[in-house]
Structure 1
């Protein structure tokens, strides 16, 4: 197997393949990532998301329906805790476009977001808001990159630092302890599946400040420290990894056929019955 490492959308990527990817194949991957970033990044002033911050409409991005339809299910399952208009809430806590990391008062996201955000014929915002698809967007991009490389023969692993998809081979993946990166709480074994993780020790910039927010309060979550989800595709795995921080997450996982593990902030672990993970801790 050969390994290609590169940085994109603010994270480290690794693509493992049975032969070296050609320059053309690498360029295609770059084009997929750049297109997605130009449409959905709230950190780019030239993105579609940024152009809509004051309200208005834009041509419908290719991935809008897939992601925002899933967001509606996420929002319904978590009683509004997950919301694609949480961007202003993140910005209020300092995780803004300039990464000021200076927090002000918490700002809940609009609870009536489906009446504000439209995604059928065009992408529209009926009032000023900041779209943030972080609850499932990186997983969706992993799927798009894997799809772009569908013609590459043999096994393939697309890993975007916590969100990965595996094709044509079996892979064992350590589940990093959220409070000690030198330890694992278990090992997952996957094949032709995706595994996505989320944790409160990632993107931390102050006392109790991290990127996993409850949209209803605009504040970081407190009960769960880390989640892992395994699904046929990375978008749904990523979405469930987010939903598991809230009530309703396990029900959504069951409805979507997603296996999962989560660890609480006091060290307890839970898992779904069929999850292909060997845990080194005792499940509660």
Structure 2
């Protein structure tokens, strides 16, 4: 039995969650009642935000050619606030309206992975595709549109679900737990001197690790195009720059670590870079470190780390296409020879 299995012997698995599966480990028993509660949360999340379901709220927005008013559950408020901040921090390169670009490039609900003939004439905000800031009017958790809008919350949606599950779990089984959602992970252990060791997957070989990280109380998220790519020479993938709607290729993989007590992203829409605004208390999503780490791991493909660091305290590691490793200060891990 591994050290992790000894420390957290109780396991609950949700293999169908978000298409990648979620595994929960805990030092205390995860009761059948709690497992059903977690599954209900996962089902509600999918029925609300999945762009692969025509009956989800996101699916209904995509089908509303003349737009409409769509009331989302209260629990979506921090997620929407986080996208407001990521949109501002990335200057529009991170935008949930990128779902339309993904469909044009072949990554739609039908999973054809066939690019539309005129895709490059329409992808991205530069070609008039709807944007989160201009085409989605938001009143709390109510979204109002004037035309069909194809939303994709993949940049930080999986991490947000991990945080929602972690909140439910801590109320029942305490803080000794680990949630792994296929690259998005949150960890909390009673003894900070004994952190959990996490392998950092090689984007060129999923069976190999390029390094290890150590986490005791926080979230670690990875992003790479290696698991979702298609087309000639695998040049198409799901990590797009929302401005031109095309896959980003300057980074091969990213890892972001955010402590559970996140110091994070006040609303800086329209505020010049370097201008101090807001506090952690102003941000409704500061209690969602996995969502923040997930969003930043994606944003690093299209935004410089220094730009993002103006908005949030985090540490990161980047692997470039030529196998160079770039480490920020305080990143809780080390790399082998890449």
User: What TM-score range do you get, normalising by the shorter chain?
Assistant: over 0.9
What per-residue deviation string (whole Å, max 9, x for no partner) do you get for residues 18-69 of structure 1?
A: 2331110001101111111111100011100011112211113324331222
User: Residues of 2 paired with 1:258 and 1:160: CA distance?
Assistant: 20
Give SS of 1:175's match.
Answer: strand
What per-residue deviation string (whole Å, max 9, x for no partner) do you get for residues 192-219 of structure 1?
A: 1011111010212223111101111111
Q: Is the 8 A contact 1:75 1:83 kept in 2?
A: yes
Question: Are the structure 2 counterparts of residues 154 and 222 from structure 1 closer, same or farther at C-alpha, using a change threshold of 3 Å?
Answer: closer
Q: Is the 8 A contact 1:4 1:14 kept in 2?
A: yes
What per-residue deviation string (whole Å, max 9, x for no partner) do you get for residues 102-137 of structure 1?
A: 111231143753121123241222321101111110
Give SS of 1:30's match.
Answer: helix
Larger radius of gyration: 2
Give SS of 1:234's match.
Answer: helix
Cα distance, 1:254 vs structure 2: 5.3
| Structure with the higher fraction of residues in helix conformation | 2
What residue is the counterpart of 2:199 in the other structure?
A: 174
TM-score (norm: length of structure 2): 0.79
What residue is the counterpart of 1:164 in the other structure?
A: 185
Regions of 4+ moved over 6 Å: none
Match of 2:73 among 52, 61, 76: 61
Give SS of 1:240's match.
Answer: helix
Match of 1:86 among 92, 98, 118: 98
User: Residues of 1 paired with 2:75 and 2:325: CA distance?
Assistant: 34
What residue is the counterpart of 1:6 in the other structure?
A: 14
Give SS of 1:143's match.
Answer: helix
What residue is the counterpart of 1:265 in the other structure?
A: 321
What residue is the counterpart of 2:264 in the other structure?
A: none
Give SS of 2:227's match.
Answer: coil
Q: Tell me, which stretches of 5 or more residues in structure 2 are unaligned?
A: 1-8, 261-288
What per-residue deviation string (whole Å, max 9, x for no partner) do you get for residues 47-92 of structure 1?
A: 0001111221111332433122222221222221111100000000
Q: Tell me, which stretches of 5 or more residues in structure 1 are unaligned?
A: none
Give SS of 1:193's match.
Answer: strand
Give SS of 1:52's match.
Answer: helix
Is 1:228 matched with 2:249? no
What residue is the counterpart of 2:244 in the other structure?
A: 217
Match of 2:157 among 137, 142, 166: 137
Match of 2:301 among 222, 241, 245: 245
CA RMSD across the alignment:
1.7
